[in-house]
Amino acid sequence: MSTESVAAKPAVTPETDAPRDFIRQIVREDLTRGKHHAICTRFPPEPNGYLHIGHAKAICLNFGIAREFSGWCNLRLDDTNPGKEDPEFVEGIKDDVRWLGYEWHDLRHASDYFEVFYRAAIKLIEDGHAYVDDLTADEMRAYRGTLTEPGRNSPSRERSVTENLDLFRRMRAGEFADGSKTLRAKIDMTSGNINMRDPAIYRIRKVTHQNTGDVWPIYPMYDYAHCLSDALEGITHSLCTLEFEDHRPLYDWFVDNVDLPNHPELWQHMRDNGFRTEPAKPRQIEFSRLNLTYSITSKRKLAQLVSEGLVGGWDDPRMNTLRGLRRRGFTPGGIRLLIERLGVSKQNSVIDYAIFENCIREDLDTSAARRMAVVDPLKLVITNLPEGHEETLTFPNHPKDESFGTRHVPFSRELWIEREDFAEVPPKGFHRLKPDGEVRLRGVGIVKCEQVIKDVNGGVIELHCTLDPESRSGMPGADRKVKGTIHWVSAQHGVAAEIRLYDRLFNVPTPDDESDGKTWLEHINPDAKRVVRGWLEPAAADAAPEQRYQFERLGYFVADRVDHRAEAPVFNRTVTLRDTWAKQAA
């Protein structure tokens, strides 16, 4: 896999051609030739965890292609591994798909087809294409061979059809212990493709299934269940990531040898019971998965972060699960923009996380109203305003879009400003507040720092400034030039808030690379979350959960969807206004 960053492609807009990647070209050709009259796709996640950013590409591709070509897309839960699956994950998957902006045609489960899978396995046995094997899992691996050495036939391979049928039906009846027998396809133990070396079809697992209870003591393997599910649903284009390319011959082998369209006795009972099914032969097409720098997408490792308490849960805003990204304030539009710009290819690569952040910034720039907030407060007192001075100023909610309207912002004699907007000994090029220096207060006028108040340890605790009344809006000096403009919040009216400053979870581009002698867990960024007490203008505190704002000069923030309340605001930083990591890397 290439570890080079991939440059973003131009966005597809109404003025440009529709996407013309190789998958869409295949779809167009199939429709033009009359191979299909409607396009049918599916998104088939396993309900053993929450979806992550890698799944977003599969969601956008499957649902997007179905939408573009006036077809439909099913959401199918691949629930063939009971014991590791949970209804909580099912609901989370459904919620995430809808959040990204898609709706499925049918909600299906692999378990809907368990009876069909069983009947199809009987057919394979009867046709001489499957047998019951007594090898243990370790023995099966030893017999399988390697990439350079062919496998060996199992001693059970030449059992008669009658014996195999008897044993398989007894497996179904629960007669045998877990792992004692396996149903395998009889293909070719010398094949150069290891997936074709008599793969397992069924294993014995006496585990309660969340949908079927204890009806089944045997469960189908993924490669077998997945392709037959596609065929039963009439899927025309089965879109998979590149790691399934070597599985495609097996996919086609199962589809061809079971031959569901020509064997209605395998599935007619479903239709008789009112279950919609139109069996057809699907085509598997592979595409490169979405890999991001500074990220992991291993479900096992994501689960480990949660189970070891290294994050606050699957929806922790540091996680690149869709629930975590949502809670952090990432937008569906920004995620779709990333997928659209990267396009679809057959070449694996790693995408610079900065491209993802820029897509979020671009989406939020147009959709997020502006507010003022201070996250590291320093008191500023305007000494030439009277005690108790109050007034109300009018600010636009969005500087580029008048349709957002305006808001009222209270202003008073005492303000909070950002501590970094003052420097007692300013560095070269510093254009904010300094002793005897001037700066423009956003929407107010020009103030001059006259006195710096310090505590007993020499720390700056307060600035005393004077406001030039001639520099206020509507006055003759309003256009007087000063180099710096800073934001503020009225100390009298500001609302205290918990501000959670989030950043990338890992501090190296490839956390899985342990060549430096460190494990992936040692690459966790200790500064990925900082919690501070800040101040908000009142209009920000009134936000509803998941309301997004640009806090002027600070970045994009979202009212936390779980903890935020108007009387106790909690905001998460979604992304800074600029890429701060590029500066660190320079």
Tell me if 279 sits within 8 A of 260, measured CB to CB: yes
Query: Tokens at residue 279, please?
Result: 């069996």
The mean pLDDT value for 318-329 works out to: 98
The mean pLDDT value for 211-218 works out to: 96
Query: Tokens at residue 418, please?
Result: 């950002």
Amino acid at 280: A
The mean pLDDT value for 281-306 works out to: 95
Per-residue pLDDT, 3: 38
- For 49-93, what is each residue's pLDDT tens digit? 999 999 999 999 999 999 999 999 999 999 999 988 889 999 999
- Of 299, 413, 504, 561, the catalytic one is 299
- For 44-56, what is each residue's pLDDT tens digit? 999 999 999 999 9
Sequence ranges of the binding site: 46-48, 52-58, 78, 222, 241, 289-290
Residue 289 has pLDDT above 50, yes or no: yes
3-class secondary structure per residue, 205-235: CCCCECCCECCCCEEECHHHHHHHHHHHCCC
Per-residue pLDDT, 499: 98
- For 502-553, what is each residue's pLDDT tens digit? 999 999 999 998 888 899 999 999 999 999 999 999 999 999 999 999 999 9
Catalytic annotation present for 159: no
Tell me if 81 sits within 8 A of 219, measured CB to CB: yes
Query: Tokens at residue 96, please?
Result: 């995430």
Sign of CA dihedral 309, 313, 314, 318: negative
Q: Is 568 left (phi over 0), alpha (psi -120 to 50) or beta?
A: beta
- For 120-156, what is each residue's pLDDT tens digit? 999 999 999 999 999 999 999 999 999 999 999 999 9
> Rounded distance, CA 387 to CA 381, Å?
10
For residue 416, list its beta bridge partners.
379, 489
- For 89-105, what is each residue's pLDDT tens digit? 999 999 999 999 999 99
Per-residue pLDDT, 584: 61
Nearest alpha carbon to residue 119 among 264, 256, 234: 264
Nearest alpha carbon to residue 536 among 498, 572, 500: 498
Gap between the terminal Cα atoms of the chain:
25
The mean pLDDT value for 473-490 works out to: 93
- Of 289, 379, 407, 553, the catalytic one is 289
Name the band, by pLDDT with cuts 50, 70 and 90, for residue 236.
very high
Sequence ranges of the binding site for ATP: 46-48, 52-58, 241, 289-290
Per-residue pLDDT, 1: 39
- For 414-471, what is each residue's pLDDT tens digit? 999 999 999 999 999 999 999 999 999 999 999 999 999 999 999 999 999 999 999 9
Sequence ranges of the binding site for L-glutamine: 78, 222
Q: SS3 of 125, please? A: helix
Catalytic annotation present for 233: no
Nearest alpha carbon to residue 399 among 181, 224, 550, 178: 550
Catalytic annotation present for 46: yes
Name the band, by pLDDT with cuts 50, 70 and 90, for residue 20.
confident
The DSSP code for 376 is: S
> Rounded distance, CA 230 to CA 78, Å?
11
Instruction: Name the strand (E) or helix (H) holding 299.
Output: helix 299-307
The mean pLDDT value for 255-269 works out to: 97
% residues pLDDT > 90 (the chain): 91
For residue 446, list its beta bridge partners.
440
* Residue listed under structure tokens 């493709």: 193
